[in-house]
Amino acid sequence: MRLLVCGDVVGRSGREVVLQHLPNLRESLSIDVMVVNVDNAAHGFGLTEEIARQFLENGAQVLTGGNHLFDQKEIIGFLEKEKRVLRPANMPTKVPGRGTLEILVPGNRKVLVVHLLGQVNMPLIGDNPFYYMDELLSRYQMGNNVQAIIVDFHAEVTSEKNALGHYLDGRVSAVVGTHTHIPTADERILEHGTAFQTDIGMCGCYDSVIGMQKTIMEKFVRGFSHQRMSPVMGKATLSGIVVDIDESTGLAKNVSALRTGWSFPKTQLVNSF
C-alpha cells in the first residue's frame, strides 16, 4: 500500500499546485491513500466548504486541519456533515467534527487516519496527544482490524513531534509532522518500523515567509506590525511525503520526501523505491 500526505496548503497558489498535481501523482506513483493538510487553504486562514470540495473532487480522500481550521465561520456546519474533513482528534469532545476516519481502499483494506494537535505553543491546546493515542490504539491493531494507521501531528516544536514519533514507533504506520511549513530533512523509518518526518513542509510559494507576504518581516524587526498577514500569490511547490506500507504488519517499508512544482523541475523522490 502506498500513501501520500501533502503538507499545509497555503492560499491560492498552494491550492492551485495541489489541484494541478494530485490526479497525476495518484496515477504515476500508484497512490492508494491521499491526505492533504488544508489548515491555511482559505487565504492563509482555515478552510471553506467550496475549497474542501475542490480537493475531495480531485482525489484527496482525507483533509486534515490544525489550529487555523475554525478561522472561517462557515466551516463549523460543514465539519458536522463531512466526515472526510478532520479537526484535531484530541480537542474536547464538544468541538464540532471528528478527528479520525476509517477509509476503505480497493481489496477491502482499511486505513485509519488520525489528526492530532500539539500541546506546546498552540493557541488551541488539545488534550494530551500521547494519552489520546494510547486509548485509541487499545481499539485498533495493525495487521488485525486495520491495515495501516496514519497520524498527522500538527505541532509547533520539533521536540514534541520527535517524541510522539518515537512514542508511537511500531504501533502506527507513519507519524507525519505538519504546521511549521518548512520541510525537514529527516524523513526516515524509525527503529520499530514507523515512518516519520518532523515536518513535511507546505504547499505554497516558498519565495515568502512561510507562504506569507514578506512584509510580515516588520513584526520581527520592530516588534509589532500593522500589516495583516496575506499569502503570496506566486509560483508554488507541492511538498509532501510518500510511504510504502507492508499490509501484513502495517509498518513502513520505504519513505521518501516529495516535492514538485516551482524550483523543482520534476517530481523527485529523495530515495528510490
Which structural domain, as residue segments, surrounds residue 238?
2-269
Candidates 68, 154, 179, 181; catalytic one: 68
In order along its 273 residues, the chain shows pLDDT tens digits of 999 999 999 999 999 999 999 999 999 999 999 999 999 999 999 999 999 999 999 999 999 999 999 999 989 999 999 999 999 999 988 899 999 999 999 999 999 999 999 999 887 777 899 999 999 999 999 999 999 999 999 999 999 999 999 999 999 999 999 999 999 999 999 999 999 999 999 999 998 888 888 887 888 788 887 777 888 988 999 999 999 999 999 999 999 999 998 865 455 555 544
Confidence (pLDDT) at 123 = 77
How much is the pLDDT for 267? Answer: 52
**Sign, Cα dihedral of 188, 193, 199, 205:** positive
pLDDT at 262: 81
pTM > 0.85: yes
Tell me, what CATH number does 109's domain have? 3.60.21.10
pLDDT computed for residue 263 by the predictor: 67
Q: Where are the beta strands (DSSP E) in the chain?
A: 2-6, 8-9, 33-37, 62-64, 85-86, 100-105, 109-117, 148-154, 174-178, 188-189, 195-197, 202-203, 237-245, 252-261, 264-269
d(CA 223, CA 244): 45
Residue that is written with C-alpha cell 510559494 in the block? 205
Q: C-alpha grid cell for residue 105?
A: 481502499
68 assigned to active site: yes
Q: In what order do the strands lie in the sheet with 33-37?
A: 85-86, 62-64, 33-37, 2-6, 237-245, 252-261, 264-269
How many domains are there within the chain? Answer: 1
In this structure, what C-alpha cell is assigned to residue 172?
Answer: 502506527
